[in-house]
């Protein structure tokens, strides 16, 4: 009788130990996955005087005058990881001549994309379902030095093209019709080879 009670007690201790180990492993896995989608320092903690030079030295993905100028490898890694369905994050820094630096944190949690940025001193968070790719040829290709433009943009409609998205913004400004909800997060212009 005493042996049976002792065996039951040992089984309960063993089961409790296994459960505690399982919970600990789950916490570690969740912490690792969460770390993959966090960028430090948080976007709302960056100093007011954060500059393009700071962003470059911090190794973020940089866009100057709309085209990627640094961090292609980081972008490619984000793209590959998110396409594999794994959580990941990347910081995007856009610099335009005579304009304030625009900084965006793009993350993927395995189901959807989240874009965080500061607007009027408030942290804004937008969620999108898809990251779409478009390869555009300039409208007047014969006189353009650009051969094609590769664009990635966030959207909620998997069938939306970049041309439709962009045109909807133009239509909204002219006629007031509602534009598609989208956000361009990548642009790379491929230039034609120089003629000798």
CA distance 86 to 32: 12
The arithmetic mean of pLDDT across residues 152-166, rounded, is: 93
The residue that leads in pLDDT, 10 or 145, is: 145
pLDDT by residue (tens digit) across 41-86? 899 999 988 999 999 999 999 999 889 999 999 999 999 999 999 9
């Amino acid at each position: 009788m005493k042996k049976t009670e002792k065996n039951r007690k040992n089984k309960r201790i063993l089961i409790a130990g296994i459960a505690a180990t399982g919970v600990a492993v789950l916490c570690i896995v969740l912490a690792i996955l969460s770390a993959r989608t966090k960028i430090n320092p948080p976007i709302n903690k960056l100093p007011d005087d954060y500059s393009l030079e700071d962003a470059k030295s911090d190794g973020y993905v940089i866009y100057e005058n709309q085209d990627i100028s640094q961090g292609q490898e980081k972008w490619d890694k984000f793209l590959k990881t998110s396409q594999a369905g794994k959580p990941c994050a990347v910081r995007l820094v856009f610099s335009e001549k005579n304009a304030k630096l625009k900084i965006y944190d793009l993350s993927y949690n395995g189901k959807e994309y989240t874009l965080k940025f500061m607007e009027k001193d408030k942290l804004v968070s937008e969620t999108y379902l898809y990251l779409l790719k478009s390869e555009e040829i300039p409208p007047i290709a014969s006189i353009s030095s650009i051969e094609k433009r590769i664009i990635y943009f966030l959207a909620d409609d998997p069938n939306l093209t970049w041309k439709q998205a962009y045109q909807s913004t133009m239509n909204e400004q002219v006629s007031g019709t509602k534009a598609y909800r989208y956000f361009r997060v990548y642009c790379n212009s491929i230039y034609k080879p120089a003629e000798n």
